[in-house]
């Protein structure tokens, strides 16, 4: 009997050791020598709108800065919603920062990367104000100009105007040459891109100088957490000049003329192109992924990642638990390993076991054609 009890005790100890070993924290590292990586930052509005959450965003940016060489980071992309409100001065109930402070916080956070690595920020619906006719305007260019980061200035090759007719980087393209023998073009288009913007992006993709490039398209809203492309009319709100019980009043959602949803972006731009092989987006909380063939028979990988509801939600949370994504592009020029990581959890030994999302929605491999 004593022998049996001793055997059970040893088994429990061994099992415990195995479980402990499985939970051992591994810091981010490239899986293959010669790989390069891209970092994807989800919507950051819930970090910047609360004073208490802003240090989490700073930590995320500091982690990227510290790992530029370790992970051979060649590009950083952000899915948009850089602020909660584009131009309000009343703090309202959804955040405690004015729009001015929100924009300043976003620009300051990205300043850690200025001169060190190129980054592209999409514009989200929260980055715009609209009038009663649905015409949009944004302060984006006041805080994210092409000269903010000279690494962006080196790579920009194309751009067009925003809805106000102003040349900005809301709709622009950046070229990375000779990445393991392949040239890349990163195109970003505004939230709910207008027909003229989609026509511009399609013309760029069709240019002879980019016909052999691999194009990555970045836009704010494209895919849902149910792996379906978005549909329906693009609408946004007007903030009314009234606050009731500390809640800024909002209009009914107003249709934005000429704006396109995810399904329309696919039909008008992505599917007809022969070289758009990846689409990245945020906007809808959660994760999403699907792949489809474009008109030339190439696989298009479509990825949604938005962590803004994680870490406690929009009003009572920490902004998104610090989650970001690491895309490792292997030396074979075809394999991309996607991992989901939180510098916030990783910074303390007591929470490092939570620093990686290991489920199939958050860690997976894509094969490029």
CATH of the domain at 148: 3.60.21.10
Give residue for tokens 């920020």: 121
In the chain, the number of structural domains is: 1
pLDDT above 70: residue 73: yes
Is 13 domain-assigned? no
* pLDDT in the model for residue 13: 47
* CA distances (Å), origin 82, targets 36, 153, 169, 284, 361: 26, 20, 14, 14, 24
- The pLDDT of residue 313: 81
Range of the domain at 341: 35-367
Angstrom distance (rounded) from CA 225 to CA 285: 7
248: its two tokens: 């800024």
Q: Which residues contact 214 (CB under 8 A, 6 or more apart)?
A: 182, 183, 184, 185, 275, 277, 278, 368
Question: Among the listed ranges 101-105, 111-115, 201-205, 246-250, which one has the minimum average pLDDT value?
Answer: 246-250
Mean local confidence (pLDDT), 54-61: 98
The average pLDDT across 167-180 equals: 97
Cα 104-40-305 angle, rounded to 5 deg: 105
pLDDT for res 160: 98
Give the pLDDT score at 343: 98
Tell me the per-residue pLDDT of 209-226, one tens digit each, with 9 for 90 and over: 999 999 999 999 999 999
pLDDT at position 324, please? 98
16, pLDDT greater than 50: no
Q: What's the pLDDT tens digit per position in 318-339?
A: 999 999 999 999 999 999 999 9
Average pLDDT over residues 164-187: 96
> What mean pLDDT, rounded, does the chain reach?
93
pLDDT of residue 23: 65
**Structure token pair of residue 151:** 């690494």
Instruction: Indicate the pLDDT class of residue 195, thresholds 50, 70 and 90.
Output: very high
For 227-252, what is each residue's pLDDT tens digit?
A: 999 999 999 999 999 989 888 899 99
Kindly state whether residue 158 falls inside one of the protein's structural domains: yes
pLDDT category, 22, cuts 50, 70, 90?
very low
- Residue 8: per-residue pLDDT: 52
> What is the enclosing helix (H) or strand (E) of 119?
strand 119-121
- Domain-located, residue 293: yes
């Amino acid at each position: 009997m004593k022998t049996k009890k001793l055997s059970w005790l040893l088994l429990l100890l061994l099992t415990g050791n195995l479980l402990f070993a499985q939970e051992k924290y591994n810091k981010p590292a490239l899986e293959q020598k010669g790989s390069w990586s891209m970092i994807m930052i989800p919507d950051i509005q819930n970090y910047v709108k609360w004073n208490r959450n802003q240090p989490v965003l700073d930590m995320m940016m500091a982690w990227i800065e510290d790992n530029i060489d370790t992970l051979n980071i060649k590009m950083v992309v952000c899915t948009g919603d850089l602020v909660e409100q584009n131009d309000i001065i009343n703090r309202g109930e959804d955040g405690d920062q004015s729009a001015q402070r929100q924009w300043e916080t976003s620009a300051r956070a990205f300043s850690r990367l200025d001169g060190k690595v190129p980054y592209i920020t999409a514009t989200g619906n929260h980055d715009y104000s609209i009038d009663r006719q649905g015409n949009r305007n944004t302060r984006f260019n006041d805080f994210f100009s092409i000269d903010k980061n000279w690494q962006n200035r080196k790579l920009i090759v194309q751009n067009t105007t925003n809805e106000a007719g102003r040349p900005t980087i809301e709709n622009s393209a950046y070229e990375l040459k000779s990445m393991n023998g392949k040239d890349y073009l990163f195109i970003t288009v505004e939230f709910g891109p207008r027909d003229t913007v989609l026509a511009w992006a399609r013309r760029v993709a069709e240019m002879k100088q980019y016909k052999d490039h691999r194009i990555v398209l970045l836009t704010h809203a494209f895919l849902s957490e149910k792996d379906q492309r978005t549909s329906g009319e693009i609408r946004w709100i007007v903030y009314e000049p009234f606050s009731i019980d500390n809640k800024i009043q909002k209009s009914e959602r107003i249709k934005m003329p000429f704006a396109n949803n995810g399904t329309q972006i696919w039909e008008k731009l992505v599917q007809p192109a022969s070289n758009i092989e990846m689409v990245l987006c945020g906007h809808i909380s959660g994760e999403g992924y699907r792949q489809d063939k474009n008109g030339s028979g190439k696989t298009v990988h479509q990825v949604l990642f938005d962590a803004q509801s994680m870490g406690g939600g929009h009003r009572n949370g920490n902004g998104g638990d610090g989650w970001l994504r690491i895309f490792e592009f292997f030396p074979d020029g075809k394999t991309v390993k996607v991992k989901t990581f939180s510098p916030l959890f990783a910074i303390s030994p007591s929470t490092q076991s939570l620093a990686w999302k290991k489920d199939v929605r958050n860690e997976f491999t894509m094969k490029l054609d």
